[in-house]
Amino acid sequence: MDILIIGSGGREHAFAIGFNESKSVSNIHVAPGNIGTSKIAQNHDIDISKPELILELATKLSIDLVVIGPEVPLVDGIADHLMKSEIPCFGPISRWANLEGSKKYAKKIMKKLNIPTANFVELSKISTSYDILNIFNPPWVIKRDVLAGGKGVTVTDSKKTAISSINYAIESDGRVLVEEFLEGEEASILVIMDESDYVCLPPSQDHKRLKDGDTGPNTGGMGAYAPAPVVTPSILRRVEEQIVQPIHAYLKNQEFPYRGCLYIGIMIDNDGAPRVVEFNVRFGDPETQVTVPLISSDLGELFFSAATGNLSESNVDFHNYSSATVVLASNNYPLKPITGDVISGNDVIIEEGEIKAFIHYAGTSVNNNGEYISSGGRVLSATGIAPTLKEAVEAAYQIVNNIQLKDSHYRSDIGFRALQR
């Protein structure tokens, strides 16, 4: 089959690599794609915020499966458009994309299904003081009820910052959620689902804070690894019983069921109890870069089966390896990244026995001289795959340590929670 991937990040490069290794896939197209995808697929420079342009491209290319990377086209209803045109789409219709698009909607569904999550209140009236800040203990968690590209959540110990974040959100969006702070360790559970079945992929852990030791501001994600040992088999069973099965049972019985990946961000407390921090309606970035390489079965066949409601007929197998990815970010990320600088030292790959490491490209372009240059906040990530996590992390660092990009930065402790266990 011919596949069209929508998006331009490291996640989409990881999909393209996975499809390139799939027997079921003949041609790979990516819109708009990046320098990494251009090496193994055909890029198409279209405006993916316009569903009609995606539909037009998919039709023109006689695409058999469209795979949506980022959340915005899903919330905007790309899957609904494709469904009307009978083009299989990996990614849910806009109604279910609201599980990510609106935190309030996600909370409503969790409450209805008795899924464990933090208590919250909704506020919609501007004030100079809010009673809830005296009821919930600090740190306070303030969540905007809109897609905010990873910048919609404030976690703060300062009452002043909490009040100004609440006011800002109410002024911008008309409402805001204030949530109880959950203690514990976070993990990402990516679940492929349709009406026939669900499959939990190996649990992973992102590193959302900019700096080592989980300090500094929140980012889109500075690195990840899988499988994450914090999610023990018994915790994964609890996640399935208390979270995955109830939401899957609900979504599969709808007229238009969920088809795609549901990303469940969980917090695991000291007793091993999981609670939902967030739902995303897509694969995570950079979680994809460490998850897709662990899938040993045909990725094209897996995604196609979920997009057409036949997941139960698909056999999914995994490699018995660990993986780690280290994100190289440009100067001033996550504020306003400074881009346009030349990248060098990015031509190394590792293939030593069972240890492999290579680059997933994201915000990288090529200039008129054919040199690689930075063009986004997260420029690329170096990914290692190996029999042990330690080897995977070391291989990823061997690649990223070799790269030169002016004033770029990366975390030096990816995987530390697992390696310290």
Residues at the site binding ligand GLY, with contacts judged by CB under 6 A:
206, 221, 280, 284-285, 287
Minimal distance in Å, beta carbon 84 to ligand GLY? 28
* Tokens linked to 409: 């930065």
Size of the site for ligand AMP (CB under 6 A): 14
When CB distances are held under 5 to 8 angstroms depending on the partner's kind, the choice from ligand GLY, ligand AMP, none that residue 153 binds is ligand AMP
Q: Which two tokens stand for residue 177?
A: 């959620």
Q: Read out DSSP for 221-254?
A: -SEEEES-TTS-HHHHHHHIIIIIHHHHHHHHTS
> DSSP letters of 317-376?
-B-S-EEEEEEEE-TTTTSS-----B-BS----EEETTEEEEEEESSEEE-TTS-EEE-S
Residue 118 contact partner, candidates ligand AMP, ligand GLY, none, CB within 5 to 8 A by sort of partner: ligand AMP
Min dist. Cβ of residue 293 to ligand AMP (A): 23
Per-position DSSP letters for 68-115, written without gaps between them: E-SHHHHHTTHHHHHHHTT--EES--HHHHHHHH-HHHHHHHHHHTT-
Q: Pick the closest to residue 202 from 212, 191, 194, 211 (CA basis).
A: 191
| Among 82, 118, 189, 235, contact with ligand AMP (rule: CB under 6 A) | 118
179 binds, among ligand AMP, ligand GLY, none (CB under 5 to 8 A by kind): ligand AMP
Minimum CB distance to ligand AMP, residue 154 (Å): 9
Q: Which two tokens stand for residue 239?
A: 């996640």
- Binding of residue 76 to ligand AMP (CB under 6 A): no
Copy the structure tokens of residue 405: 């990009």
3 state SS of 20? helix
Q: Which is nearer to ligand GLY, 22 or 288 (CB)?
A: 288
Q: How is residue 274 written in tokens?
A: 């999981």
> Which listed range, 4-12, 177-185, 373-381, 391-399, lies at the site for ligand AMP (CB under 6 A)?
177-185
| Residue 194 binding partner per list ligand AMP, ligand GLY, none, with a CB distance cut-off of 5 to 8 Å that depends on partner kind | none
Q: Which does 284 bind (CB under 5 to 8 A by kind): ligand AMP, ligand GLY, none?
A: ligand GLY
40 touches 14 (CB < 8 A): no
265 binds ligand AMP (CB under 6 A): yes
Q: What is the DSSP letter of 137?
A: P
Q: Under a CB-based contact definition with an 8 Å cutoff, are residues 86 and 111 in contact?
A: no
Contacts of 214 (CB under 8 A, 6+ apart): 207, 208
Among 5, 14, 141, 290, binds ligand AMP (CB under 6 A): 141
Q: Tell me the per-residue interface mask from 271 to 300 with ligand AMP, x by CB under 6 A, - otherwise.
A: ------xx----------------------
392-405 burial code (b ≥16 CB/10 A, e <16) = bbbbbbbbbeebeb
Measured from the CB atom, the residue of 88 and 152 that comes closer to ligand AMP is 152
**In the sheet where 355-361 sits, what is the strand order?**
205-206, 223-226, 322-329, 378-386, 355-361, 350-352
Give the closest residue to 3 by CA, choosing from 28, 32, 40, 39: 28
Pick the closer one to ligand GLY by CB: 188 or 305. Answer: 188
Is residue 186 within the footprint of ligand AMP (CB under 6 A)?
yes
Nearer to ligand GLY, 70 or 88 (CB): 70
E strands, 19-73, in order: 27-32, 42-43, 65-68
Which of 53, 83, 156, 181 is the binder for ligand AMP (CB under 6 A)? Answer: 181
User: Least distance (Å) from ligand GLY to the CB of residue 74?
Assistant: 13
182 is a site residue for ligand AMP (CB under 6 A): yes
Of residues 182 and 189, the one with the C-beta less far from ligand AMP:
182
Contact 272, 230 (CB under 8 A): no
| Residue 221 binds: one of ligand GLY, ligand AMP, none (C-beta under 5 to 8 A by kind) | ligand GLY
Instruction: Name which position in 4, 68, 153, 224 contacts ligand AMP (CB under 6 A).
Output: 153
Chain residues 194-213 in contact with ligand AMP, contact rule CB under 6 A: 208
When the beta carbons of 88 and 221 are compared against ligand GLY, the nearer one is 221
State the residues that interact with ligand AMP by CB under 6 A: 118, 141, 152-153, 155, 179, 181-182, 186, 208, 218, 265, 277-278
